[in-house]
Structure 1
Amino acid sequence: MDATILLILVQDGVVNGAIYALLALSLVLVFAVTRVIFIPQGEFVAYGALTYAALDTGQLPGSVWLLCGLGLAACVCGLWQQRRTLTAGATTRLVLQTVVLPAAITALAAFVAPRKPGVLIEALLALAIVTPMAPYLYRVAFQALAEASVLVLLIAAVGVHLAMVGLGLVFFGPEGSRATGFSDAVLSFGALTVQGQALWIVGLTVVLMGALYGFFEFTLFGKALRATAVNRLGARLVGIATAQSGVIAFTLAGAIGALSGVLIAPLTTVYYDTGFLVGLKGFTAAIIGGLASYPAAALAAILVGIVESFSSFWASAFKEVIVFTVIIPVLLWRSLRSTAVEEDE
């Protein structure tokens, strides 16, 4: 291996690691606020990529019908859960959020898609279609289980993942798709060439991480999420709506997943079930970071990306095995350092 190959492998690892970092941050966020290990995060990557690819070809993506269906389900669940305290104003807000909003997005997509307005509008529209699915899923599958154990929430997350994979096959079909990149520029640095899309991925990842830092440090909603993550009962006692915190956390996770899918769609062919493997690598980074530290999760994601890149070069047939094996010594080290704690009854 010479220096040129080394630089190419590191570059690929950093680009892949940037995507894994976004997913790891969203997984840590959701777990910290709701205690949900959000296994379906990878499906939002696939949905975002396939929705963007459909819009890029001038077609109305099937995900708009899934959005409407999830919105209706969230509306019914919300009306049932709040049936004893429901007011006219609350009912109106719920209908606007879960019925009117999906219908408006669907109408906009039907109007815009055939006109092929360009990659920026298509990317924003894909985010608008996929992102609301996450809070709808929270209302349908997780909000009623907010006080359940982590194991129950994990089982629910696995069920949601399996359902979303099947729905992805129904609404997108078995064929893979690619889309137009944000930039077709190619920059040369000596023997190393860097694609413009790779720069977009790394740049947007850095910007988004900075935006999340500002959100948590300087906004009221961000501080409410931090308080809910530290002590859910204490946050409720001081007037923070922990259910609303869960909605915000899932919305951010859905937006991050959809954005990750939009970013990788020009680089690789994405299928309806591609997201699980991508999300699992983000989950590996989140576990290495302890499901608690955002900087540690981001650094671990870069490590996972570099390990994957070098594994592809040296032993491509076993690259997935090598990547997921990285988590074993970390778990052993954490288990040796931690003390046994009996679960509360």
Structure 2
Amino acid sequence: MFEEYTGVYVIADCFDGQVRKVTYELIGQARLIADQLNEEVHTLILGAQVASQAQTLIEYGSDHVHVFEHPLLARYSTDGYTKVITDFFGQNKPNVILIGATNDGRDLAPRISGRMKNGVVADCTILSVSQSDGLVEWTRPALGGNILAEIICPEHRPQMGSVRPNVFKMPERIVGRTGQIHQETVTLADSDIRNRFVEMIKVDLNEVNIEEAEIVVAGGRGMGSPANFKVLEELAEVLGGVLGVSRPIVEKGWYPLSRQIGQTGKTIAPKLYLAFGISGAIQHTAGITGSETIVAINTDPEAAIFKVCDYGIVGDAVEVAKEMIAKFKVAKG
């Protein structure tokens, strides 16, 4: 029925003409899926001058890179990108499409799926392939993050989903890996795009980028009060990391949303994640699965966070944080 649909396609996510890290994470997953299905990985990259990055996409795992260059693609626009991509898919029939769940990706994915009259599974955190029928199994938190829903698409093609950044690790880059680069024809006019870029306004220039931090110190409801978070701020500074919080802390108004980790906040993948007074609800743990090492501190030995951490400490979060600060200060001399 769907024999003509083949290939796992990744739509590259770019900002200011540069490929974002999530694209390489998706190529790694596309490679795993394609190998199980005995298919090839294709990556679409759109922009004004982006052809120079095509070889890098191949070295991270793409078999084919389709380059779409046009002055009107220099900045993301819903209309422009949707038209170019769906025109291409009108001539090519993909089996699977992966899009990063970034601000642009969350805008683009439903537009593409609507134009192509198929569904899209949003904000996936786990991807797998069924051994029985070869369908992609898309897993995402649902019902406010209280359960994990596994979704399949047996009746329509392409199978399509968006994936949150930092959920999967980047694949190893193989310098010199070969593949095919296709310079595609772009048919796009000013009249195709209804919105115009006017100005970029950067908000809170002093705010940290928690998604890119290598060390994250986070606190939850178990910290007790805003004053106790000052201890975590000091620990983060001593370690050269950044402070993050769980959703209840943002809801209390103690810290801004930009610090929130979890399904409704940021997905992070630091080398070290320290969780103080965080119970480990699935809404939160969905955002930390990419962490290399997770250390949890909680007074409750039955807390769910201990089921996902690498190291656990049963104790008072504030006292443990103070002890860590003292030890690290001595170690640093």
With the length of structure 2 as denominator, give the TM-score of the two structures.
Answer: 0.26
| Structure in which a larger fraction of residues adopt strand | 2
| Structure in which a larger fraction of residues adopt helix | 1
With the length of structure 1 as denominator, give the TM-score of the two structures.
Answer: 0.25
Higher gyration radius (CA): 2
